[in-house]
């Protein structure tokens, strides 16, 4: 009913708007004022966490994209090798696991059958399984060794939004906690990240306040057949997530690519006036990546693409090549997906509505897929 939607037209819009709170709730009580993490709720002992020599993340759909982003953070901060795999592929290829592998199963519902089967397989190999889950007492956390709950609250719309942002936050917390218990050098970078992470819900709020032009743009693109998404580093999984949202909701041909792969194929797809969304890394960090992506934007634009550029405030280098510019706040590189994903959610939601689609209940999809 309209009351349940709090005055929003769709649950999805309501859930997008709830993201600052969802993120704040997921952080609540887990970072103390001194900047150290309290995750005593994890039932894996620090001694066991010190033994870990490999992290394997398994998930499906949007949760899989959270896992792809987590890999960048886990490897960069903890220096523990990390793999991410679609749960539906994982157990069928005889993965190498053992008692020192930590398997992280990410699932909003806690009931996705592929993810459940993957975690059972991991436990049979003697690995510890940590669930990152939004649903109290659901099957995946019940069958895991430990659980870190996301506190997004109930997510009704089939396409995941606030659960995704909280999955990212939970993954960052796990990565930082691994550093803490393992005594990984707690450098200035990690200190700064913890500070920025504890403030990130305000940044999400700021992004939400600037979404009107994104909605207007989406409406003008309702007649398009194809939208491409490009990103690099953590912006690559963000591009995949932007494309997935558009498939799910707008039933459009949408694909996400790693910007570095453009020249190996995707650039052949560019046609006159084809919308291409580009997620631009921060110019302050990894400046080479930033320059490379600016060249990519120039290349696709020269071939006729209509460029929709998501870039940090103050990034002036992109301005001459952006047909449409969407600003996001300055964040540390690894946290950028938390803010960069929000415009893509709004974009897909508005495009779906403009195409007359059922936003909260897209055709052929289920909120939770409990069959293999
Ligand atoms: C379905 C939903 C997606 C979700 C995926 C994984 O496909 O439509 O939105 O990302 O399942 O669900 P889970 O509950 O395991 O996160």
Q: Where are the beta strands (DSSP E) in the chain?
A: 54-59, 82-86, 101-107, 128-133, 146-149, 226-231, 253-258, 275-279, 306-312, 324-328
Catalytic residues: 367
Instruction: Quickly state the pLDDT bin for 1 (edges 50, 70, 90).
Output: low
CA of 135, closest atom in ligand 1: 14
231 within ligand 1 shell (Cβ under 6 A): no
Instruction: Quickly state the pLDDT bin for 122 (edges 50, 70, 90).
Output: very high
365 within ligand 1 shell (Cβ under 6 A): yes
**pTM exceeding 0.95:** yes
State the SS3 of 134-167.
CCCCCHHHHCCCEEEECCCCCCCCCCCCHHHHHH
Q: Tell me if 70 sits within 8 A of 175, measured CB to CB.
A: yes
CA of 365, closest atom in ligand 1: 8
Inform me whether the pLDDT recorded for 151 exceeds 80.
yes
What is the structure's pLDDT at 286? 61
CA of residue 105 to ligand 1 center, whole Å:
12
> CB count, 10 Å around CB of 106?
34
Output the CA angle 43-47-50, nearest 5 degrees.
110
Of the candidates 172, 176, 171, the one whose C-alpha atom is nearest the C-alpha of residue 186 is 176
Pocket mutation for ligand 1, best pick of 62, 88, 245 (most atoms within 8 Å of C-beta) = 62
135 within ligand 1 shell (Cβ under 6 A): no
Q: Six-digit token pair at 235?
A: 């912006």
Q: Tell me if 194 sits within 8 A of 242, measured CB to CB.
A: no
CA of 60, closest atom in ligand 1: 6
Q: Tell me if 218 sits within 8 A of 350, measured CB to CB.
A: yes
**Which residue CA neighbors atom 15 of ligand 1 most closely?**
107
Pocket mutation for ligand 1, best pick of 63, 69, 136, 149 (most atoms within 8 Å of C-beta) = 63
CA of residue 257 to ligand 1 center, whole Å:
21
Q: Where are the beta strands (DSSP E) in 188-270?
A: 226-231, 253-258
What is the structure's pLDDT at 317? 95
What is the structure's pLDDT at 284? 81
- Buried residues in 329-362 as b, exposed as e (16+ CB within 10 A): bbbbbbbbbbbbbbbbbbbbbbbbbbbebebbeb
CA of 59, closest atom in ligand 1: 15
Q: Tell me if 54 sits within 8 A of 82, measured CB to CB.
A: yes
CA of residue 369 to ligand 1 center, whole Å:
7
Q: Six-digit token pair at 121?
A: 């397989």
87 within ligand 1 shell (Cβ under 6 A): no
What is the structure's pLDDT at 364? 92
Q: Return the CA Rg of the chain.
A: 20
φ/ψ of 220, rounded to 5, equals -75, -15
CA of residue 17 to ligand 1 center, whole Å:
20
Alpha-carbon separation of residue 33 from 7, 37, 38 (angstroms): 36, 9, 11
Mean pLDDT of the chain: 95
Kindly list the strands in the beta sheet with 128-133, ordered across the sheet, starting from the edge strand earlier in the chain. 82-86, 54-59, 101-107, 128-133, 146-149
Question: Mean pLDDT over residues 274-282, rounded?
Answer: 96
| ipTM of model | 0.97
CA of residue 61 to ligand 1 center, whole Å:
5
Pocket mutation for ligand 1, best pick of 139, 149, 157, 367 (most atoms within 8 Å of C-beta) = 367
Model confidence pLDDT, tens digit, residues 186-216: 778 888 899 999 999 999 999 999 999 999 9
Instruction: Quickly state the pLDDT bin for 42 (edges 50, 70, 90).
Output: confident
Q: How far is CA 146 from the centre of its chain?
A: 22
CA of residue 88 to ligand 1 center, whole Å:
12
What is the structure's pLDDT at 226? 97
Counting residues of the chain whose pLDDT is more than 90, the rounded percentage is 90
Output the CA angle 54-97-134, nearest 5 degrees.
70
115 within ligand 1 shell (Cβ under 6 A): yes
> CB count, 10 Å around CB of 364?
6
Of the candidates 280, 279, 164, 269, the one whose C-alpha atom is nearest the C-alpha of residue 227 is 269
Model confidence pLDDT, tens digit, residues 50-109: 999 999 999 999 999 999 999 999 999 999 999 999 999 998 999 999 999 999 999 999
61 within ligand 1 shell (Cβ under 6 A): yes
Question: Mean pLDDT over residues 251-255, rounded?
Answer: 97
Model confidence pLDDT, tens digit, residues 165-186: 999 999 999 999 999 999 887 7
Question: Mean pLDDT over residues 236-260, rounded?
Answer: 97
| 8-state DSSP, 31 | B
What is the structure's pLDDT at 188? 81
Model confidence pLDDT, tens digit, residues 286-343: 668 999 999 999 999 999 999 999 999 999 999 999 999 999 999 999 999 999 999 9
């Amino acid at each position: 009913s309209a009351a349940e939607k709090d005055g929003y037209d769709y649950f999805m819009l309501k859930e997008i708007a709830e993201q600052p709170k969802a993120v704040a709730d997921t952080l609540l009580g887990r970072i103390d004022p001194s900047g150290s993490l309290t995750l005593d709720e994890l039932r894996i002992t620090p001694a066991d966490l010190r033994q870990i020599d490999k992290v394997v993340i398994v998930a499906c759909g949007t949760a899989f994209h959270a896992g792809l982003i987590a890999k960048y953070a886990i490897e960069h901060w903890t220096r523990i090798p990390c793999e991410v795999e679609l749960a539906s592929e994982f157990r069928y290829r005889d993965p190498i696991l053992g008692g020192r592998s930590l398997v992280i199963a990410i699932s909003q519902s806690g009931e996705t059958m592929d993810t459940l089967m993957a975690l059972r397989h991991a436990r049979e190999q003697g690995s510890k399984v940590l669930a990152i889950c939004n649903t109290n007492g659901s099957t995946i956390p019940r069958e895991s060794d430990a659980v870190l709950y996301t506190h997004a609250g109930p997510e009704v719309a089939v396409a995941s939004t606030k659960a995704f942002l909280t999955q990212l936050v939970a993954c960052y917390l796990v990565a930082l906690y691994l550093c803490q218990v393992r005594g990984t050098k707690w450098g200035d970078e990690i200190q700064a990240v913890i500070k920025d992470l504890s403030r990130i819900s305000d940044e999400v709020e700021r992004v939400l306040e600037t979404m009107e032009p994104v909605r207007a743009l989406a409406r003008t693109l309702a007649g398009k057949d194809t939208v491409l998404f490009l990103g690099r580093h953590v912006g690559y999984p963000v591009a995949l997530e932007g494309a997935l949202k558009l498939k799910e909701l707008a039933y459009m041909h949408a694909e996400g690519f790693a910007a570095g792969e453009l020249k190996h194929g995707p650039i052949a797809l560019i046609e006159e006036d084809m919308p291409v969304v580009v997620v631009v890394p921060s110019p302050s960090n990894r400046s080479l990546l930033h320059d490379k992506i600016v060249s990519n934007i120039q290349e696709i634009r020269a071939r006729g693409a209509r460029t929709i550029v998501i870039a940090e405030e103050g990034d002036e280098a992109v301005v001459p090549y952006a047909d449409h510019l969407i600003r996001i706040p300055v964040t540390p590189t690894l946290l950028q997906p938390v803010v960069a994903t929000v415009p893509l959610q709004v974009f897909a939601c508005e495009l779906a509505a403009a195409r007359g689609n059922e936003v909260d209940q897209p055709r052929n999809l289920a909120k939770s897929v409990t069959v293999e």
